[in-house]
Amino acid sequence: MYLYVIGGSMKIYEVGGCVRDSLLGKTPNDFDYVVIGSSIEEMKENGFIQVGKNFPVFIKNGKEYSLARKEYKTGSSHKDFYFDFSPNTSLEDDLSRRDFTINSLARDENGKIYDYHHGIEDLRNKKIRHINRHFQDDPLRVLRGCRLAAQLDFTIDRLTIRYMKKMVSEGCLEHISPERIWKEFEKALTGKFYIFLKYLDICGALEKILPEICELKNSLENKKYHPEGNSFGHTMSAIKTADKLYPNNSLVKFCVLFHDIGKIKTPKENYPHHYGHEELGATIIRNICSRMRIPKIYLDCAINSCLNHMRFYKIDNMKFGSLYDFAKKVSGKEENLYKVCQCDAYRKTNESIKGLDIKLSMLKAMIYCQKNTHFDEIKKISKGENIEWIKKRLKDLTIEKYRRNFYA
């Protein structure tokens, strides 16, 4: 899979994330190649097809190659650069323009690693570190640093954090589109999302992007149930639990982030109680998702979890009609709701967690019966009887396959 010399002075190297990931023992998702000592004309003569109009990127045999370049800042946006693609650009020149030392590694056709900025040492130390002062030229690097820390479970170098704080304080995030910000959030959801949020908060970016989440710091909680003392601390602890229980479930983590967001709007005179925070939260979530251009699947699941997580805990005390209505509301999202409640109840005992499993089984049983010909008969007979009755009737009337799944 390694690279080759085409002829003359043209050389090709693997660079960036694919080298980093392979050194970490991970399978790279994609491969990036940089070409040294060539020009657009020479690339075309050697069978490379140019695909970038303003940027010399080429395709050959299904792989993407770019000419080595130097960058010069021309404006405030992460897109405001002048690029120099001179054939005299060296490999070190190209690697020095990159964001972090661990992304500034290259590998040649013989497997030799080129490391001009001590990236391998930072990989060993699990550290995200900027290369030089030009780190500040690209505002997107603030988010990328936090996201990489989350995906790799690395720490960010203290001097790099200082640069990030300075960039945020100077308004760098104002030059990044909502869609691009969301893209970094979405990638971070696949890693340790708690780490992403922690570093966003440390460098001041969280307050700029999601001020509503930062407002949770002023929302007091009953320390008997949430010893962190405020809703922000509780939310972050719940996120950490989601990272542990559901590391690959982006929807659950997103919903956990916003499950208590309505508490920023509840009356302070009622603290530490937050009556009605579910409905208040749904409105806030709609505004955030609109502002950040977040896809509808995340919006719908987050609103469902926000509105219904408190009711989920009360399933075994519901009358038949209430459970019937509740099941209608959450049908299709009941598994996600259960997982959010698991993370929300992270401090509960094993017995309490087991109680959540029973509630989910009851909810699934009701949803099943709503789609089953037996259900109208059950509803007529029940006439508001208490939940103990329906638990028995559901066991009696659901099919054997279902009973094996949920009542074994």
Residue 213 has pLDDT above 50, yes or no: yes
Assigned CATH for 1-125: 3.30.460.10
> Domain boundaries in the chain?
1-125
CA distance 243 to 153: 11
* Mean confidence (pLDDT) of the chain: 86
Taken in order 107, 111, 112, 113, is the CA torsion positive or negative?
positive
Residue 93 has pLDDT above 60, yes or no: yes
CA distance 203 to 165: 5
Instruction: Give the per-residue pLDDT at 380.
Output: 52
Q: State the pLDDT confidence band at 143, using cuts at 50, 70 and 90.
A: very high
CA 183 to chain centroid: 9
Residues 9-33 pLDDT 10s:
789 999 999 999 999 999 988 889 9
Instruction: Give the per-residue pLDDT at 342.
Output: 93
Q: State the pLDDT confidence band at 403, using cuts at 50, 70 and 90.
A: very low
CA distance 337 to 333: 6
Residues 369-389 pLDDT 10s:
777 645 555 555 444 444 555
Q: What pTM was computed for the model?
A: 0.86
Nearest CA among 335, 399, 391 for reference residue 368: 399
